[in-house]
Structure 1
Amino acid sequence: APLSDEEIGRLRARAQIRRLKAGQWLFAQDDPAEHFFFVHSGQIRLFRLSAEGEEKIIELIGPGQTFAEALMFMGTGRYPVCAAALSSSELLAIDATDFAAMLRDSPDTCFALLGGLSQRLHALIAEIDNLALHSASVRFARWLLAELPADADELTLAWPKATLASRLTIKPETWSRITRRLSDQGVMTVSGQQIRVHDRCALRRLGELDDL
């Protein structure tokens, strides 16, 4: 958004279109980080693999979002995570070296980018606190309340349930137990990818948010 017309033209001239099929990897952890990416369409998951091969989703990226741009300032030259498409996706691959050179010529653009990165950093720190300090049920309740529109009681999940469970560090069977228990209690109902909340107050109590 803060780029001038000249800067956008320079970016377009050096960018590449990448198209991925569902499940296809974009890059692996420790691959050379030559580009960062803008998602035009589709869904991308960023994740790390444990020594046992278990996947931990770090972030979910949708249309209009960028990822891996912070590597321009880290100096490591390697991707710290893996990236793969959850659905058929079209990305814009932006040359990181050229973009960094452009930022050196435009302090205003550089500060705008750093402001966006700082907001994401604070959000991730808050998420780490939530993951470390609260049970699976509390994390689920807080996530659902944050995702639920303020003027509606129904939410259509944009991501597969197993993916969302991994994002919240919840096993899929735990996700199922939580949603089943809340359904039995009349707090919500689940139908496919639709969640309808009947009792926000009960969700707030579960998320320990009554005093906020």
Structure 2
Amino acid sequence: MKEVITKILNNIHQHHRKLHFHDRDELCVAKVPIFSELYKTELEKINSLVIGSRHKKGEILFMQKDPIDHLYIIDSGKVKFYEVSSEGKQQIVKILGDGDFFGELSIFTDDVSNLNAEVIYETDICMISKDDFKIFLRKNPNILLKITEFLSKRLSEAENLIANLSLKNSDQKIASWLLTMGDKNGVYSSNGIKLKLYLSRKEIADFLGLTIETVSRKLNQLQNDRIITIVNRQEIAIHDRSKLEELSDI
């Protein structure tokens, strides 16, 4: 295990690169909502603290019980966070994408990670060390309020996930997931809401607490009912949002 972790860390360090952006729209930190109220000069100051790295699909950023000593910002790409049961079954807890951040709890505690973090699509990560970020927060205390707001939002999302897994049936889980993904990542067009999938059928099943067979069967049924179209294994078009809302029991 130590050799695996060492290899992971070495790969990360090999990919590290300093980010030097000048236009506000190009600043990695400008994508993060908690920094939305900062002026360009302040953004440039915090961006000067950033170390960037590029990661391929399947790379592990950190594992359960690893110490977290950075704030991570996803400049582009997708990262999944999951637990592994004693039987080896993976339970995906959340998936973060462009402009999302994680590791913020390390600012307040010295706890280790309770989840594994794995890249599911080529991803650019910006990192700010815990100590550097603490110094920045002392000069910009309003950012703490923003972080608190986002922590509350994530707690609410976690509660919704628990409700989905424990109280909803398979039809409701699939419909709720499609609605959530459509709202977050969907692109509206004349043909409905185009939704690009970054997860395999197995990962979708792990996330929803279902079997692969059930996920495939339920998606095919939605297509037969003309509620969605399965364009390919990585893209779905939602045609009837109101019907999905009925199915999700909203």
TM-score (norm 1): 0.85
| Contact 2:195-2:238 at 8 Å conserved across structures | no
1:158 aligned to 176, 197, 216, which one?
Answer: 197
Q: Return the offset for 1:156.
A: 2.3
- Identity among equivalent positions (%) equals 27
Unaligned runs of 5+ in 1: none
* SS at structure 1 position matched to 2:161: helix
Residue 23 of structure 1 aligns with which residue? Answer: 58
Paired residue type of 1:208: D
For residues 50 and 11 of structure 1, what CA distance do their matches in structure 2 show? 38
User: In 1, distance between residues paired with 2:211 and 2:149?
Assistant: 34
In structure 2, C-alpha distance between the alignment counterparts of 1:191 and 1:167, rounded to whole Å: 21
- Map of 1:178 onto structure 2: 218
Task: Tell me the SS of whatever aligns to 2:172.
Answer: helix
Counterpart amino acid of 2:64?
A: Q
Deviations 1:25-81 (A, max 9, x none): 1111111111121111221111111112222111111111111212322x2431111
Report deviation, 1:180: 1.8
Question: How many pairs are equivalent?
Answer: 208
Distance 1:40 1:12 in 2: 12
Give, in whole Å, the separation in 2 of the partners of 1:150 and 1:84: 25
Offset from partner CA, 1:74-119 (integer Å, 9 cap, x none): x243111111111221101111122123323432121122122222
Of structures 1 and 2, the one scoring higher in RCO (CA 8 A, sep 6+) is 1
Residue 206, structure 1, aligned to residue 247, structure 2: yes
Cα pair 1:38 1:92 within 8 Å, conserved: yes
Q: Does 1:137 align with 2:171?
A: yes
Pairwise mapping of residues 104-143 of structure 1 onto structure 2 (< 5 A)?
A: 104-143=138-177
Residues 4/183 of structure 1: CA separation in 2 closer, same or farther (3 Å cut): closer
Decide which structure has greater helix share: 2
In structure 2, the CA distance between the partners of 1:36 and 1:196, relative to structure 1 (3 Å rule), is: same
Give the AA of the match of 2:52. I
Q: How far, CA to CA, are the matches of 2:208 and 2:66 in structure 1?
A: 26
SS of equivalent to 1:100: helix
Instruction: Tell me the equivalent position of 1:194.
Output: 235
Structure 1 stretch displaced more, 148-157 or 60-69: 148-157
Is residue 208 of structure 2 the alignment partner of residue 168 of structure 1? yes
Q: Please point out which of 54, 65, 71 is paired with 2:100.
A: 65
Classify 1:80/1:174 alpha carbon distance in 2 versus 1 (closer, same or farther; 3 Å). same
Asked if structure 1 preserves the Cα contact closer than 8 Å seen for 2:77 and 2:122, the reply is yes
Mapping 1:31-50, distance limit 5 Å: 31-50=66-85
Are 1:94 and 2:128 counterparts?
Answer: yes
SS in 2 for 1:84: strand
Amino acid in structure 1 at the alignment position of 2:249: E
CA distance in 1, matches of 2:49, 2:158: 31
Gaps of 5+ in 2: 1-34
Contact 1:37-1:94 within 8 A present in 2 as well: yes
Amino acid at match of 2:225: Q
Q: 1:12 aligns with which of 25, 31, 47?
A: 47
| Alpha-carbon separation, structure 1, partners of 2:99 and 2:243 | 34
